[in-house]
């Protein structure tokens, strides 16, 4: 009788053998380098095939397994973030930021402002499917003040993801924003929100570039003034994150947070092959050190086999760019 069989390259079968040996505690059968290689060299599509192959050979959902143990296991956390679908991962990050205890504004800003609008639209759909809830409504319910209006505006703007960058339009919008900031005793918040709500993240970056070209300084400097109030402070955080995501991440990594290890792991994994080299440069500019050194300080002091693998993967992802 014929049986179904997943036909995958032999390398994925070897990866599964290595991971099964590791998770079974059979450390003598494998080396740290073999485990590190899987999570540094395989892209997301390859890791998806590894998970499928693992399920076929060992009858276990590998992604679910690492998900169950990731809370107190840095290696499992890295493995999970590398293997889960990016849209599902980001939907989970947003959900946890809103309902995981205390509100985590930094993570909300991170996901909403550093993902391309096309990805953000998919993240919203995934959030709706996973949690049977609307992301914009949940955000409105949990956040107050200017951040609520600004972040909801960013989320809504992703509907325009198909629009290509138009520099002529960016110049016009930059002038509109200048008038909204400069023409009266108070800033025109309604006009600012209107402009941002109609432009995807790529177009917003073009507007911010045009603003500096026209007026000799960045828009974020204009909203620092006292007349902009709390709304200006909150708008500045968001637009700086959209314009210079590498500086946003570098700042998060410099802060002494209780969840510093999680921020380090998440930043390296989610920004590898995107802008991790830029983040490393921005971090080094402010600290005189590198992300590789930060990884070693956080995880390299222990002789724990897990930590050796964590250091190997994170450093490998940073160097690989």
Residues in the chain: 321
C-alpha closest to that of 198 among 235, 173, 232: 173
| Residues contacting 213, CB < 8 A, separation 6+ | 174
Q: How far is CA 36 from CA 16, 147, 209, 303, in A?
A: 13, 39, 40, 16
Binding-site members for Ca(2+) are 23, 25, 28, 296, 298
Rounded to the nearest 10 degrees, what angle do helices 32-41 and 10-23 cross at? 130
**CB 104, CB 96: distance < 8 Å:** yes
Binding-site members are 23, 25, 28, 296, 298
Q: Using the structure block, give the residue that is written with the tokens 């991962």.
A: 89
For 78, other C-beta atoms within 10 Å of its C-beta total: 22
| Residues contacting 83, CB < 8 A, separation 6+ | 44, 47, 48, 50, 51, 62, 63, 66
């Amino acid at each position: 009788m014929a049986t179904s069989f997943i036909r995958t390259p032999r390398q994925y079968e070897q990866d599964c053998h290595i991971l099964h040996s590791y998770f079974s505690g059979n450390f003598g059968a494998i080396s740290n380098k073999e485990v590190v290689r899987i999570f540094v060299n395989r892209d997301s599509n390859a890791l998806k095939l590894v998970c499928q192959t693992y399920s076929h050979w060992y009858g276990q959902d590998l992604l679910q397994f690492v998900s169950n143990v990731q809370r107190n296991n840095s290696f499992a956390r890295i493995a999970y973030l590398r293997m889960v679908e990016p849209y599902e991962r980001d939907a989970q990050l947003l959900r946890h930021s809103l309902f995981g205890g205390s509100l985590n504004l930094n993570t909300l800003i991170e996901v909403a402002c550093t993902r391309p609008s096309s990805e953000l639209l998919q993240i919203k759909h995934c959030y709706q499917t996973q949690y049977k809830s609307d992301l914009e409504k949940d955000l409105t319910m949990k956040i107050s003040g200017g951040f609520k209006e600004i972040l909801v505006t960013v989320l809504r703007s992703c509907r325009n993801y198909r629009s290509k960058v138009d520099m002529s339009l960016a110049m016009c919008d930059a002038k509109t924003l200048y008038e909204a900031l400069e023409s009266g005793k108070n800033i025109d918040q309604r006009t600012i929100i209107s402009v941002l709500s109609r432009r995807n993240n790529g177009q917003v970056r073009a507007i911010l570039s045009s603003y500096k070209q026209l007026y000799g300084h960045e828009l974020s400097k204009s909203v620092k003034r006292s007349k902009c109030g709390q709304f200006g402070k909150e708008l500045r955080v968001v637009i700086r994150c959209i314009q210079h995501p590498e500086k946003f991440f570098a700042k998060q990594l410099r802060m002494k947070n209780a969840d510093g290890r999680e921020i380090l792991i998440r930043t390296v994994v989610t920004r590898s092959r995107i802008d991790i080299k830029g983040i490393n440069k921005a971090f080094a500019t402010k600290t005189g050190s590198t992300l590789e050194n930060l990884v070693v300080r956080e995880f390299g002091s222990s002789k724990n086999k897990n930590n050796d693998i964590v250091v190997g993967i994170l450093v490998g992802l940073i160097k690989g760019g």
